[in-house]
Structure 1
Amino acid sequence: MQDRRRFLTTAAAAAGAFSLPALAAVPERRFAPQPAGWRTFELTTRVTPALAQGASQVWVPLPSLDTDWQRSLETGYTSNGAAVRTADGVEGARMLHVTFDPAVRDPFVEVVTRVQTRDRAVDWARPAAARQDAATLAHALRPTALIPTDGIVRDTALKAVGDARTDADKVRRIYDWVVGNAWREPKVRGCGEGDIRTMLETGDLGGKCADINALFVGLCRAVGVPARDVYGLRLAPSAFGYRELGSNSASLKGAQHCRAEVFLKAHGWVAMDPADVAKVMRQETGEWIKSVQHPLVAPVYRGLYGGWEGNWVGYNTAHDVSLPGSKLGKLGFLMYPVAEDAQGRFDSYAPDDFRYTIAAREFKSS
């Protein structure tokens, strides 16, 4: 792993120097999200919790974000339980909370939500003083249970940024450090856990989006740059032909994906997704690509620094989530349906055992 990390660090640092002649004949793929028209999706989540013993309850995350790249529209539901729209009370994560009496046979809830999304891309050539209230920025600098900002996290962040002084320079170096040192590990369950202190202490920086983007967020926070994870779901295939950057709309039960944002003084909240760079490098082809200069990786490496594609919905930016009515502990994040019964919490990473399905359909503009 050390050899691989050294290789990737060198490759990321040399991203501008094309030194792999064997790739010269391979055409570079296009990946260039640009803000344009809105896309409208209807998202349907159906939960039929299995093996419920005694009273049970379910929490289904709802889109909680209304921004210049997402509009969270109406939500409806049907259930044979008692359902209420609620939120965690601190982090702003909205959800549908459903409780089922022990006498209810075959408990179920179906949630239908409409959202509008569009691509994001910052115009680096047009800086403008950005404003954000101090409380929001302070919240995006705080340590959380899984994303501390002291000790090895801060030490790593300081080494990554080196002599960088501006927020933009720090973020650029942290993005490159994460791309160069972390890697996609397909064997990790779900989206990962996001325990960045353990990742750094063990030196095992392999993971999935909730690990790699949490690492990026934690390093940014540790050097004073507000950052946050955005937890959500891929809704449709990528318009740019990347298999790993999209999903099958008819079956989204494994399509959860978190992204990241940083706040830059000259641009406001800016999109980032180093985890998807790692995913393309590891899984887009049968070969593990180990250079950001590769024609398949280079456009994604560039495009996901400041942008992302609008085939995805964001649920929330919440950490350390308290589920209303839960008898168990907080969640590190809320991106999957959650259920509990008398025996404890169901495994959200096993949808076929838990029994939930998620699907989306897009309404084409007329």
Structure 2
Amino acid sequence: MDRREFLGLAGGTLLLTRLPTLQASPADSADSRSWRRFALTYHVELAEPGLEAELWLPLPQNFGDYQRAEIPQWQSNADTAEVRRLGRAEAFFARWRGAAERRASVRIEVATRDRQIDWHRPPRPTPEQETVLERYLQPTERVPLDGIVRDTALAASAGAETPLQKARAIYDWVVEHSFRDPKVRGCGLGDVKSMLESGNLGGKCVDINTLYVGLCRAVGIPAREIYGIRVADSRLFKSLGRSGDVTGAQHCRAEFYVAEFGWVPVDPADVRKAVLEEKLPLDDPKIAGLRERLFGSWEMNWVAFNDENDLRFGPSMMSGFFMYPQARVGGKVLDSLDPEHFSYRIESASLS
């Protein structure tokens, strides 16, 4: 290990006072078997020629009572290597000032447990802060809340009275009107206005779940996307899991907020994914069961990165959500959706 690689590991240790550690509370002790532990590891080698290079990798972080992330550790020959806070996202950042081989390996351990709303026993959650809820009622560049978006939301939720009923009506509308399009690159763009104006509601998880989020916000229901990656096989359908090499397993999910239940997990995009990849019709009993399950639950064979939608990495770089590695070498932006030529690999391992 060279001196810069040693400094990278030392840097990870020095961050003990800044980042959350993975510790069980007394209230969790009786339920400790419900937690699953995973190790997520990035391997990056930037071979593009250039005098300077920068790298950003999205990192899992603590979320609610269902995910806890340990402190990342790394090995790298970068001149600068550290964890940075980018809005509501955590990122590993590295900078190389020379044209030599550029390497970084980053490992972080995460514990997750499944989420399941009991509709018959409201959990009486601590009310969310009004400033937080207001943030998730705002339009974005990709998701305006007026015009065709609001008109569609009102039509989809017509007849529903309470926020929960409206959220369910919109969920059913999205499941029934959208479809998974395997030709879309990556996880899609989530350009809701363009989707509705074109009438083409095909896409992948970012497209479909952002459509859901936008329609909820348009009728006054706080909602947000959560960006992450699958890390283990699914107990539900083979197509809804990934383990080992998870380089292309990024996945976006969604939540909405109602006072009596707090943040409610949903995933209409995975309903449409199962329809396509399991080759089953929407009215198949297995899909019907999945549809019910994914309104109010997440199988946590997936880890969450962040819910950030408005990041800027610099000129010509990606803007918006942060779910894929990002890099620039000698002023050239690398294609984050082409991991082979980027190049990066992401691996997951179960530690349970």
Same fold (TM > 0.5): yes
Q: Which residue of 2 aligns with 1:275?
A: 269
- Are positions 1:315 and 2:305 aligned together? yes
SS at match of 1:263: strand
Unaligned residue ranges in structure 1 (runs of 5+): 1-33
Choose from 53, 56, 74 the match for 1:56. 53
Tell me, in whole angstroms, the C-alpha distance in 1 between the residues paired with 2:75 and 2:141: 35
Deviation string, structure 1 residues 233-260 (Cα, Å, up to 9, x no partner): 00010123x111101x221111000100
Q: TM-score, normalised by structure 1?
A: 0.84
Q: Give yes or no for the alignment of 1:355 onto 2:349.
A: no
Alignment correspondent of 1:101 = 97
Describe the shift of the 1:319–1:362 C-alpha distance in structure 2 as closer, same or farther (beyond 3 A). same
1:264 matched to 2:258: yes
CA deviation profile, 1:292-317 (whole Å, cap 9, x unmatched): x3023112101100001010000001
- What SS does the corresponding residue of 1:187 show, helix, strand or coil? coil
* Matched length: 320
The equivalent of 1:84 in structure 2 is 82
Aligned position for 2:194: 198
TM-score of the superposition, structure 2-length normalised? 0.88
Give the drift of 1:161: 0.5
Q: Distance in 1 between matches of 2:311 and 2:319?
A: 5
State the AA in 1 paired with 2:270. Answer: D
Give the corresponding residue for 1:7: none
Consecutive unaligned residues of structure 2, counting only runs of 5 or more, are 1-30
* 3-state SS in 2 of match to 1:173: helix
Whole-Å separation in 2 of the counterparts to 1:344 and 1:171: 43
Offset at 1:330? 5.5
Q: Distance in 2 between matches of 1:52 and 1:86?
A: 25
Give SS of 1:347's match: coil
Q: Of residues 169, 173, 189 in structure 2, which corresponds to 1:173?
A: 169
| Alpha carbons of structure 1 residues 35 and 204: separation in structure 2 relative to 1, 3 Å | farther
SS at match of 1:180: helix
Higher relative contact order (CA 8 A, sep 6+): 1
1:245 and 2:245 aligned: no
**DSSP 3-state at the match of 2:82:** strand
SS at match of 1:349: coil
Contact 1:167 1:265 in 2 (8 A): no
Deviations 1:72-129 (A, max 9, x none): 11211111111121122x3x111011111133x1101111001001111100001254
Partner of residue 162 from structure 1, selected from 148, 158, 164: 158
Q: 1:329-348 to 2 correspondence within 5 Å?
A: 331-348=319-336
How large is the RMSD of aligned CA atoms in angstroms?
1.6
* Letter aligned with residue 110 of structure 1: S
CA, structure 1 residues 356+231, in 2 after alignment: closer, same or farther (shift >3 Å)? same
In the alignment, the residues of structure 2 paired with residue 279 and residue 50 of structure 1 have an alpha-carbon distance, to the nearest angstrom, of 34
Give the letter aligned to residue 299 of structure 1: G
Deviates more, 1:157-166 or 1:306-315: 157-166
Q: Deviations over 1:246-299 (max 9, x none)?
A: 01x2211110001001111110001000000000011113xxx342x3023112
Residue 319 of structure 1 deviates from its aligned partner by 0.2
Are 2:300 and 1:295 aligned?
no
CA distance in 1, matches of 2:315, 2:118: 46
Please name the residue that 1:9 is paired with. none
**Superposed displacement of residue 54, structure 1:** 2.5
Match of 2:292, SS state, is: helix
Q: Say if 1:35 and 1:132 are closer, same or farther in 2 by CA, change over 3 A.
A: farther
* Bigger share in helix: 2
